[in-house]
Amino acid sequence: MDNRAIGVYDSGFGGLSVWDELRRRLPHESLVYLGDGKNCPYGGRAKEEIAAFAFEAVERLVAEGVKMVVVGCNTATTAAIAELRERWPDMPIVGLEPAVKPACIGSRTRRIAVLATEHSLRSDMFLATASRYASDVEVLKVVGEDFVELVEEGMEQSEAATIAVDRVVRPLLNEGVDKIVLGCTHYPFLRPLIERVVAGCGIDVIDSGEAVARRVEWLLERYDIAASGDNEAYYSFISFADEAYRERLERRAKVLMQR
Ligand code: DGL
């Protein structure tokens, strides 16, 4: 038994989609969420730069006394997960990867689309995953242009978001894909708009949130560090941006909890 918190990290608000899955599945686990905010978006940056942000973030979470870190950011995972695990070999560190495997297994048309940031899509890690699981499946790589910025601004229900999603997703309707994988943790916040575009077209939208929560649960058991059944979980929020940003993180999380 270990009642210390789990750290969850993202470039900004996106990891809250993972945070939400974790808190639903593991109600006794306390969570410390670090949304960088100062350096977001990561997606167009160089690997070394993103890796440096990720190191700073995990260092901070370790200083907060967490027992495990979930890198709730596909981009940071592709840039740094191996190095993070090397630096903190005694602490489980979970990364986020696009759900390419289940999408490929379930695809009838043998064509899928992966929506992610520019960095994630050109990373060695993504290319390796795609070649492992998608040898007989065509994978269309699509950057969700402006998606991260819209979610950061809290504009996921706006006209601008509807237009941005339409611009990215509608062309996929002519591509014969039957799965759209959300390979960036910001994108699930736009899921209702994405689903509206693909409605009635036989296309499933898949993200990694639930799978990651399951993986975390498994690791807690395996390392024997799950919180006790009577632990009253707390949720705290930190950021490298200003206090106003941190408060917005907290407010967003509250909205998710009320759903
Ligand atoms: N939420 C992040 C991801 O999962 C990164 C978004 C960004 O900062 O560009 O890829």
Which of 206, 223, 248 delimits the end of a domain? 206
Residue numbers of the domain that contains 150: 100-206
11 C-beta closer than 6 A to ligand 1: yes
Judge residue 1's burial from the number of C-beta atoms within 10 Å of its C-beta, 0-12 exposed, 13-18 middle, 19 or more buried: exposed
Report the distance separating Cα 58 and Cα 69, nearest Å.
7
Query: Cβ(107) to ligand 1 under 6 A?
Result: no
Residue 152: its pLDDT value, please? 98
Q: Is 184 part of the annotated catalytic residue set?
A: yes
| In a shared domain, residues 217 and 230 | yes
Nearest CA to ligand 1 atom 9: 43
What are the pLDDT digits (tens) for 176-231?
A: 999 999 999 999 999 999 999 999 999 999 999 999 999 999 999 999 999 999 99
**CATH label of the domain that carries residue 226:** 3.40.50.1860
Please tell me the distance between residue 171's alpha carbon and the centre of ligand 1 in angstroms: 23
Q: Averaged over 52-71, what is the pLDDT?
A: 98
237 three-class SS: strand
Cα dihedral 15, 19, 20, 22, rounded to 10, equals: 140
Do residues 95 and 120 make contact, with C-beta atoms less than 8 angstroms apart?
A: no
**Cα–Cα distance measured from residue 98 to residue 19, given in angstroms and rounded to the nearest whole number:** 16
Kindly state whether residues 213 and 202 are assigned to the same domain: no
Residue 156 and residue 178 in one domain: yes
List pLDDT tens digits, range 64-115.
999 999 999 999 999 999 999 999 999 999 999 999 999 999 999 999 999 9
Tell me, what's the pLDDT at 259?
Answer: 84
Say what percent of the chain tops pLDDT 70: 100
Residue 142 host element (H or E): strand 138-143
Query: What pLDDT score was predicted for residue 134?
Result: 82
Q: How far apart are CA 85 and CA 80, in angstroms?
A: 9
CB-CB contact of 104 with 112 (8 Å): yes
Number of structural domains found in the chain: 2
Looking at the structure, tell me whether residues 200 and 225 fall in a common domain: no
Measured in Å, residue 232 CA sits from the centre of ligand 1 at 30
At which residue do the structure tokens 């070394």 appear?
48
pTM for this entry: 0.97
pLDDT digits (tens, 9 = 90+) for 27-40: 999 999 999 999 99
Those residues whose C-beta lies under 8 Å from the C-beta of residue 4, and which sit 6 or more positions away, are 30, 65, 66, 67, 225
Q: Per-residue pLDDT averaged across 138-147, rounded?
A: 97
In terms of domains, do 152 and 197 share one?
A: yes
Ligand 1 and 186: CB distance under 6 A: yes
Out of 51-60, 125-134, 149-158, 210-219, which region has the weakest mean confidence (pLDDT)?
125-134
Are 117 and 163 found together in one domain? yes
Q: How would you class 210 by CB atoms within 10 Å of its CB: exposed for 0-12, middle for 13-18, buried for 19 or more?
A: middle
> Please, which pLDDT band fits residue 22 given cuts at 50, 70 and 90?
very high
212 lines ligand 1 (CB under 6 A): no
In a domain, 1, yes or no: no
User: Where does a domain end: 180, 206, 232?
Assistant: 206
